[in-house]
Amino acid sequence: MNDDAQAGIVLALGALALRLGLTDAHLAYIRPAMGPVLALAGAVLVVLGGVVLLRPGRAAQVGATDTHGGHDHAGASRVAWLLVAPILAIAVVVPRPLGAFAANRAAATLPPRARADFGPLPAAAVPGGPVDLSLKEFVGRAIYDEGRSVRGAPVRLVGFVTPDARGGGFLLTRFVVTCCAADARPLRVAIRGLAPPWPAADTWLEITGTWRPERRAAEDERPPVLDATELRTIPAPTNPYLR
């Protein structure tokens, strides 16, 4: 692979990183706070690749090296440029964020215990209405607070549908990331109380219901149960992951 092919690949990688960092597309891979860093790294790569491709005397150097030693290296260079194809494919068609397929193949997990005292629930947006909680907050309160703060209180959760192998309902799921999608861990809430047919996998829902008290052992990794009273289909959020 000659210098031009290497510089072209660096330029293509930089352009992709710059595009992802400057748009919401990077939220399918990394945390929002890392977007500016990705954009900066992409800009640096674009500059480096451009400097090599636009360097003075490049055309004369290419003509002298393409037939060096009586051998034509142009074919090898053209093959090397094919390495840019996957980069361009991602630039044109950005993969979807992790969904039900990945969640079904991940081990059961619970969020780490963030604090000993969760305190009272935040105020509802409408007096007497449900309290909006993230899936992580609800699971933490249901498991580690032993449901005290959510007992009998209507809550509203947002997540995507994952089939439940145990039957009787489905799972509402969100992925929690520390750095990027590579370390994503699914959090689940078992949704009960609704009659089939249930929503299709990967459908994003806003669900209102109440926590179902259950006896749990210390090593129990089953998701907490929400007895749903209302659901609404919503568009997928711009940032699909929780922190």
Structure-token match 């619970």, residue found = 110
Which own/partner contact pairs does 178-181 have at CB distance under 8 Å and 24+ positions apart? 178/243, 179/30, 179/31, 179/34, 180/29, 180/30, 180/31, 180/34, 181/28, 181/29, 181/30, 181/97, 181/98, 181/241
User: In whole angstroms, what is the distance from residue 219 CA to residue 224 CA?
Assistant: 14
- Global pTM reads 0.76
Over residues 156-181, the pLDDT tens digits come to: 999 999 999 887 899 999 999 988 88
* Nearest Cα to Cα of residue 227 among 120, 126, 113, 142: 142
pLDDT digits (tens, 9 = 90+) for 199-212: 999 999 999 999 99
pLDDT at residue number 175? 94
Whole-angstrom CA distances from 196 to 92, 131, 203 are 38, 26, 15
**Given this model, what pLDDT does residue 163 score?**
93
Q: How many CB atoms lie within 10 A of CB 36?
A: 12
* DSSP-derived pairing of the beta strands 170-176 and 155-163: antiparallel
List of the chain residues with pLDDT < 70: 1-2, 57-81, 94, 114-116, 218
CATH numbers and ranges of domains, the chain: 3-92 (no CATH), 100-242 (2.40.50.140)
Residue 173 sits at φ, ψ, to 5 deg, of: -130, 145
